[in-house]
Chain A
Amino acid sequence: MSEPNGALLEARNLYRIYAIGSGGPAGGAVAPGERANPPVLQDVSLTVTEGKFVVVMGPSGSGKSTLLHLLCGLDEPSSGQVFLAGKELFALSDEQRTLVRRECVGFVFQFFNLVPNLTVGENVALPLLMQGVTEPLQDERFTKVVELFGLADKIGRRPHELSGGEMQRTSIARAVVHRPRIVLADEPTGNLSTKAGHEVMEFLRRAVDELGRTVLLVTHNPRDARYADELHFLKDGRIDLTKSLRADDASRTKGRIDEDRIHARLEELGI
């Protein structure tokens, strides 16, 4: 499944700069003659290999969400390239990018973003429905995911009837049900209790280990970062790959990065 160079997702020299008064990250790119804010992302390069759990860590305002949006083609870079599943995203039209996203990407958001009108089952089945599956609730992938995430008794409920942890589990189930090449998670535990957050991270880890998914997660929480196979640090819009950590480097817990090492690196980087 890997691409020729082994990278499922690759960012090359990404810059993202917003014009002054453009309304922040949602604003437009700098047009000729416009004054610009300092870059949100500067020369960011990153490679995500298939089957890995990759975490990008950084403080608030470091550009984590912007990076995530660029990596899946929701936003466009001021310069640089993104390759997803062998396709250069920004050489594609908006429509084509959307279709790549539909096929290859699963999303987990901090605020769950479940569709309030749909039931839990329909929310989970949404990506299958988008792929044209006529009876998504009968699909084997759906059944498996619902069981894996402990949602079997909740599929007829509406999102507002769930707890925060249940909502996020639903959100993760939706992100993986169609077996995307990569799951992108934006602070998925930011809105949850410690216990629920831990549960959610366990589920993401299982998605990698048991379902063979690839996960790219952005967070500011060192506890979440422990679950990563690879951990990169984003500060002031830059990633210094020389400072990245790998699970192989971890000594005490197999498949986890030691939290002390993370704290030490954070201190070293002044984050």
Chain B
Amino acid sequence: MRIASTLAWRSLASRPARSFTAALGIGVGIATVLSVQVVDRNTILTQQRQAQGETLGRPDVEIEPIAARLPDGGAAPVELAADPDVAAFCGLFYGSVEVVAPPDASEPALENPDVTIVGIGPNAASLFGAYEVEEGHDFSSARAAELLVPERVAADAGLKVGDTLSLRRTRPVRKGCQEGRLVTIAAEGETARPGEPLAFTVAGILAPHDLGAQPLVVAPFETAAELLRDAHLQPIYWGRLKDGAIAQDVAQRLKERWTVEKPKHSLVGERIDQKAFRKSLKITSCLALLLGLFVIYNAFSMALVERVREIGLLRALGLTRGEIARAVLLEGFLLASFGALLGIALSALLVGYMNLMSITTLGAGKPLEILEIPWRLGLGVVALGMLFALLGMAAPLLRARHLSVIEALRAGRLALRADPGFSLRVGLMLGVPLMIPLVFTLVTPPLGERQAAVHGLILELAAVVAGFFLLLLALPKAVHKAVEAVIAPLCALAPIEGRLALSAVRGARQRILATLTGLAVVVAAVFVVRAVNDGFLDEIARFSDESLSGRLFARTRQLERSRSDELLRLPGVARVDSMSAEVRAPFPVRGLRADALRANRERLELADGVVDEFARGESLILSRFLAEQMGWKPGDAVNLSTFTGPRSFRVGAITDGIGYWPDDRSFALLEMGRVDQLFCVDDETSAHFVLELEPGADAAAIEAKLRKRLPPAPDRQARSAATIKSFYLRDGRRDFYVFDVILWSTAALAAVGLLNSLAIALLERQREIGLLRTIGLTARQVGKMLLIEALALGVVGGALAALLAAPVSAIVLEAVRIISRLDLRYRFEPWHAVAPLLAAVAIALVAALLPALRGGRLKLGPLHRHE
């Protein structure tokens, strides 16, 4: 091992620039992945902390019956028990009881006899962590007459384990909306008298967190249900889903009688569009790591070219193939370790930068409150980076092992019996497409019914990438001809440099092909990510145009209808409507006057029958996102949860044509009168208005006038569709800043990779260059020669990138469309062909600068002494 370590150390130390660029390749790859992971983790933690206080039990899903009734006897609902994706569930309801003082008054009594009781299922503590018994024990059975009392409540009431307490249902009083009026009503079976008392034993005292932090007592679900018999109770069921199950699938199955929602804390970053965004981000950052592989490959190839004679010599002196391999591996390991340290330092800088700029993985402008280092994940990324680096050495190592010793000694140039790297390269090129579906399956959670469609697209993507590589492998001559064709016209401008560049390209076909492949893949990846970003922005723009155009939105203090009409009905404004009528039932339902819909009938292409049905309050208009989410189509029946039980409506139409601001894409519209009747919503006064403009009205001018006219209020605002659209787009672009960080890192890596490749060219030809310099070639001409080669590589690499990027962008965007349910579309535009070309040329020329400078500064003396 000592010989291996000596050779490895010496090799690294004697070529500090090469060692540094290789380590930088690994470091930038690791830093990109690590910083994205750290920022993502802390984004989620920050937003979860903000949402957490509101969530009890931390279930996967919260399931509520639309009927808002406790099942008979508190029995477990059969639909939940039978659902294939629900692994376990636990019911919970709140009720009111009063403490009954015993005749002999020997039992302890509470100061306030009215107590909130929670009936809770048997596995609430074990599966959902809803409470922790600090003293005593949990319920002995599901029907036990036992109570769990929070520590604070027990202290206040002087209760201890073993005490008994008699409770009874209080007289039920409940207010609700009935036919547009708020009334006090008794639900079916409810009586005006309090219930029968039931004696409970205090089984345990609860620790002061979760349920134990609230002023209540806890009883077994079935016992509490019996105690509160005839009362109107609104149960909720916490659900634990099986591995890989999706809440939306459960929601779809149970939608007739239940609403299924994810709790707020678990929704942080889990909304389908956020998820798609975060996944895209992580996959993109992994790309940077793959590019690190490319850089390492080139750096080690360069080392091999440089050291071919040394390896041959060591073999001749008695170093075995295994020892050579160990020395190379050790060198790689040391390099990877240095790269990992560099990566950690760089990722700290990147995270600091993103934090400073408030860039998170859920959009910009949301500063992190928590900055934890996920050590395990971090070490995993570092280990992965190092593994990638070692993999990157595989091909050069194979070449080193197959070196012809005699020719290495004799000629001092790369002396291989055959090109053993060829099969590896072919393997890599074919392996990458094969890995696409595998990696996708590993990193993407199950997508339920959309799985098949997305998998089809992923296979299509793998086929396109494989096709691209096969094309390069099958037509290498065409690729080289293309490079030569780019150089040929330059020979007229710089005859010597051009010819030298041509000879360099002709003499290194494998290097040129490998470099072009790497450059094309990197640039293509950059533009695919850009295309996805543009797809999102285009969707935002189209959505804004469709849902907001021809309308203005205003916010001011509360105004009565007559006053708002008088104030806001400026010339060019056709109608003024209140935007206050919104309820949750269980998704957002907004009130819309039938004449407002009628006024938009033509624009929305609605049949008369649809508008009439809506006007009668029999149908809903659904936003496209809600319809997609729930799988509803026109004509389907949809239940709304109302005070008096579920009400069924037909889906009249699905459109985003009547959107609102602020943006909420998932909602239903119901005739205003009907909303008032079912939910008692008053739209006679409002602080939030939508103004329908007359055709051809100047929205900007009206917006300006409206601003002056609105009565003062702390959040007074007047915004036209165009203003809102520009806000949305600006926000969208800010959300994608994080992608820019990755794209810049990726471009830097591509430049480092290319720099290595050109440096190899320089090394391979340093004797030739030395000779040419001796007989009169100037340093400037050497530099120009390398720049010409770089330019040609940039042009051809860019063209190949454009060729790959266009179909891949279309497929990726289609997959993201299916996953996010947003109407994303890919449109090929001329700049999609030109921009990769320019980017590749820019990267190539930047990368060529250093080798060009070095080439010009080669010392001639040592070159001639180099045999």
Contacts and interface: CB of A to CB of B under 8 A. Distances in A.
Interface of A: 23, 25-26, 28, 65, 69, 72, 74-75, 94-95, 98-99, 101-103, 105, 107, 109, 111-113, 115-118, 122, 126-127, 129-130, 132, 134, 160, 174, 191
Ranked 5 nearest A-B pairs via Cβ = A102-B318, A26-B407, A117-B14, A111-B867, A117-B10
Contact of B406 (A25, A102, A103): A25
B708 interface: no
Interface in B310-344: 310, 313-323
Nearest to A119: B10
Contact of A129 (B3, B321, B409, B862): B3
B14 A116 contact: yes
A75 B409 CA distance: 12
B406 A74 contact: yes
A113 B313 contact: yes
Contacts of B7: 117
A95 B318 contact: no
A94 B401 CA distance: 12
Contact of B318 (A69, A103, A109, A112): A103
B417 interface: yes
B318 A127 contact: yes
A135 B516 CA distance: 47
A160 B862 contact: yes
Given A98-B320, A99-B320, A101-B318, A122 B6 contact: yes
Contacts of A160: 862, 865
Nearest to B407: A26
A26 B310 contact: no
B404 interface: yes
Contact of B321 (A94, A111, A130): A94
A127 B316 CA distance: 11
B410 interface: yes
Question: B interface, by DSSP: helix, strand, loop or mixed?
Answer: helix
B766 interface: no
B417 to A, nearest CB: 7
B406 A98 contact: no
Interface core residue of B7, B314, B317, B405 (most chain A CB under 10 Å) = B317
B2 interface: yes
Contact of B316 (A99, A101, A117): A101
Contact of B415 (A26, A28, A111, A132): A26
Contacts of B315: 98
Given A98-B319, A102-B317, A109-B409, A117 B309 contact: no
Contact of B317 (A28, A75, A95, A107): A107
Contacts of B410: 25-26, 65
Interface of B: 2-3, 6-7, 10-11, 13-15, 309-310, 313-323, 404-407, 409-411, 415, 417, 862, 865, 867
Contacts of A115: 10, 310, 313-314
Contacts, number: 81
A135 B415 CA distance: 34
A75 B318 contact: no
A174 B318 CA distance: 12
A129 B318 CA distance: 11
Contacts of B323: 130
Given A25-B406, A113-B316, 5 more contacts: A26-B404, A26-B415, A103-B318, A126-B3, A130-B3
A95 B320 contact: yes
Interface core residue of B7, B11, B321, B410 (most chain A CB under 10 Å) = B410
B330 to A, nearest CB: 14
A113 B323 CA distance: 19
A25 B320 CA distance: 22
B406 to A, nearest CB: 5
A132 B406 contact: no
A166 to B, nearest CB: 13
12 contacts: A23-B407, A65-B410, A98-B318, A98-B320, A101-B318, A103-B318, A112-B867, A115-B310, A116-B14, A116-B310, A117-B10, A174-B317
B318 A113 contact: no
A118 B15 CA distance: 12
A69 B320 contact: no
Given A25-B406, A74-B406, A130 B313 contact: no
Contacts of A28: 417
A132 to B, nearest CB: 7
A23 B7 CA distance: 31
A261 B320 CA distance: 43
B316 A74 contact: yes
Nearest to A134: B2
Contacts of B2: 129, 132, 134
B409 A99 contact: no
Contacts of A103: 318
Nearest to B13: A117
A95 B324 CA distance: 12
Contacts of A174: 317
Nearest to B313: A113
B310 A130 contact: no
B299 to A, nearest CB: 16
A95 B315 CA distance: 10
A105 B15 CA distance: 31
